Amino acid sequence: MKNRNLPFIWMVVAVIVIYSSLLAAYYTNHINGFVYIGVMLVAFAIMLIPLIIFRNDKKRIRSLSWISIILGVLLCFEAPLLWYESNTYIVSRHAEPIEAFDNSGVHLMLVTTFEIGYLEDKELIMEGLQQDNLDIIDLYKVTNKIRYQSKNSEILRWLKIQKDDFTIMKDNVTSYLVDETNSIEGVLNRNDISGDSVGLGLALSALIGEGTLENNLTFGVTGALNATGDVKAIGMIKEKVLIAAEHEYPYMIIPSENAKEASDVKTTHNLTLEILDVSHINQAISLIQELNEEHAK
């Protein structure tokens, strides 16, 4: 007996194959967002034709409706990519490090970024930025991978499924410190900082603020921190190392996962900054204690 669901199954498979192929082509920069969404829109429009033709055939219309719904949902999910299509480069700039707790000696390394739209000529962009006397560190090409990840993160935040990185960082730091965050509340409540790279520095600042840790030296600190004290990799390590060197900090504590990149930056720019990498906050605490003891002798 012939399986009546076979045509429907094949149509679902066809939709999945077409969608997967388009997504792969987009993700690997072989097509742009307009082509990606345009082809999906055409496929959705084509599906409407048999819906009209077989509108009086209840069995067929049910299957075709499900296919159309699947295509429509995928189209709605991917359509916001068009909002990101104009972004071509990300510019990183110097930002002033901050102390979460005054005179703690722990300086949180920040980086300012903004996006360039429509322009593709990197040299032309750099010339324009230099004419505006902006203190630029680097220029990063915006790939479709970056656009896609940004779009997904934005949708998840909008749906309240995912928190932003700074909120996650606050939760992790608060959990690790068991709510002893009075000395760093100022930074935790700021709304002009993004990302999770200040987590390690904030936790160390709080320990100094609470009197648990003593420090009389100057450190640049960057690193994401989870609730159990593990130190995780962060982005834009190059910028943060260069900013620490510019401020003439003798030491900089970074995640071990970023050690290779930081070492390359130090070598390339011939920096005297001593880079100390850690994988857990306890290592950072021990380094601070040891270096303070050495300098006290």
For residue 89, being part of any structural domain is answered with: no
At 192 the pLDDT is: 87
Inside any domain, residue 127: no
The count of residues in the chain is 297
Same domain, 168 and 286: yes
180 and 245 co-located in one domain: yes
For residues 175 and 206, the answer to whether their CB atoms sit within 8 Å is no
Domain enclosing residue 60, as ranges: 6-79
pLDDT the model gives residue 1: 41
- Give the pLDDT of residue 62: 76
Residue 236 lies in a domain: yes
Whether residue 19 sits in one domain with residue 100:
no
192 and 282 assigned to the same domain: yes
> Same domain, yes or no, for 101 and 240?
yes
Do 171 and 261 lie in a common domain? yes
**pLDDT at residue 6, rounded to an integer:** 57
Give me the pLDDT at residue 7, please.
63
- pTM, full prediction: 0.86
Please check whether residues 11 and 103 belong to one and the same domain: no
Please name the amino acid found at residue 257. E
pLDDT of amino acid 241:
97
Tell me whether residue 30 is in a domain.
Answer: yes
Question: Same domain, yes or no, for 101 and 66?
Answer: no
Do 210 and 103 reside in the same domain of the chain?
Answer: yes
Domain count, the chain: 2
Q: What is the pLDDT of residue 4?
A: 54
* 43 inside domain: yes
102 and 226 assigned to the same domain = yes
Domain membership of residue 232 (yes or no) is yes
Regarding whether 62 and 169 lie in a shared domain, the answer is no
SS (H, E, C) the chain: CCCCCHHHHHHHHHHHHHHHHHHHHHHCCCCCHHHHHHHHHHHHHHHHHHHHHCCCCHHHHHHHHHHHHHHHHHHHHHCCHHHHCCEEEEEEEECCCECCCCCCCEEECCEEEEEEECCCCHHHHHHHHHHCCCCEEEEEECCHHHHHHHHHHHHHHHCCCCCCHHHHHHHHHHHHHCCCCHHHHHHHCCCCCCCCCCHHHHHHHHHHHCCCCCCCCCEEECCEECCCCEEECCCCHHHHHHHHHHCCCCEEEEEHHHHHHHHHHHHHCCCCCEEEEECEHHHHHHHHHHHHHHHHC
Q: What is the CATH number of the domain that holds 263?
A: 3.30.230.10
Binned average pLDDT, 10 residues per bin, the chain of 297 residues: 59 86 96 95 86 73 81 94 95 93 94 92 88 87 95 92 91 90 91 92 95 95 96 96 96 97 96 96 97 90
Give yes or no: residues 62 and 176 share one domain. no
Residue 5: per-residue pLDDT: 57
Decide if 174 is inside a domain: yes
- Is residue 28 in some structural domain? yes
